[in-house]
């Protein structure tokens, strides 16, 4: 059996959330230009080296961050009134990545844990995704 305390490889952990919101797309021709709603599914993946207990980040800590920073602000809201950009899944996932990453950097005081990926499902078959390397890469 592997001694967990000596396991020094980085491990990803993911927590999934849902919230309901309404929006409409600006500068768009099609039915999504009309007011409509979604049950969004938000996947938040963090990565780090497990501590002496074998824990990268407590799932409860991820839940607290996302509930305070995203769910409590956007659940059952009209997104166009809250967000200063066109409320596409692409724009929203980048915005959520930035919010969660900023909060995580302020609250992590032990082993470094990095936000790796945020995936925002708009429907059961459609999502937008932001990964760390793309968020921090230079625009071309």
Residues in CB range of 91: below 8 A, 6 or more apart: 83, 85
pLDDT at 110: 54
pLDDT at 5: 53
Candidates 23, 76, 98, 111; catalytic one: 76
**Strands 11-23 and 36-48, how do they pair?**
antiparallel
Q: How close are the terminal C-alpha atoms of the chain, in Å?
A: 48
Candidates 23, 32, 98, 138; catalytic one: 32
pLDDT at 137: 86
**How far is the C-alpha of 93 from the C-alpha of 63, rounded, in Å?**
17
pLDDT at 13: 97
Domains in the chain and their CATH numbers?
A: 18-135 (3.30.479.10)
pLDDT in tens, the chain (140 residues): 455 555 679 999 999 999 999 999 999 999 999 999 999 999 999 999 999 889 999 999 999 999 999 999 999 999 999 999 999 999 999 999 999 999 998 875 556 899 999 999 999 999 999 999 999 887 65
pLDDT at 111: 62
Compute the CA torsion angle 108, 109, 110, 112 (nearest 10 deg).
40
Tell me if residue 122 is catalytic: yes
pLDDT at 24: 97
Residues in CB range of 123: below 8 A, 6 or more apart: 38
pLDDT at 125: 98
Tell me if residue 114 is catalytic: no
pLDDT at 2: 53
pLDDT at 3: 55
pLDDT at 39: 98
CA angle 8/130/92 to nearest 5° reads: 135
Candidates 23, 45, 95, 122; catalytic one: 122
Tell me if residue 32 is catalytic: yes
pLDDT at 60: 95
The beta strand positions in the chain, using DSSP E, are 11-23, 36-48, 77-78, 113-123, 126-131
């Amino acid at each position: 059996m592997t001694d967990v305390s000596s396991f020094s490889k980085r491990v990803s952990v993911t927590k999934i959330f849902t919230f309901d919101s309404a929006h409409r797309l600006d500068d768009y021709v099609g039915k999504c230009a009309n007011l409509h709603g979604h049950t969004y599914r938000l996947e938040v993946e963090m990565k780090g080296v497990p501590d002496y207990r074998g824990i990268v980040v407590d799932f409860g800590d991820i839940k607290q961050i996302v509930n305070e920073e995203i769910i409590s602000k956007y659940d059952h809201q009209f997104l166009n009134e809250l967000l200063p950009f066109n409320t596409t899944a692409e724009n929203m996932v980048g915005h959520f990545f930035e919010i969660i990453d900023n909060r995580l950097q302020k609250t992590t005081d032990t082993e470094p844990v990095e936000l790796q990926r945020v995936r925002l499902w708009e429907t059961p078959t459609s999502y937008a995704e932001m990964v760390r390397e793309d968020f921090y890469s230079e625009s071309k």
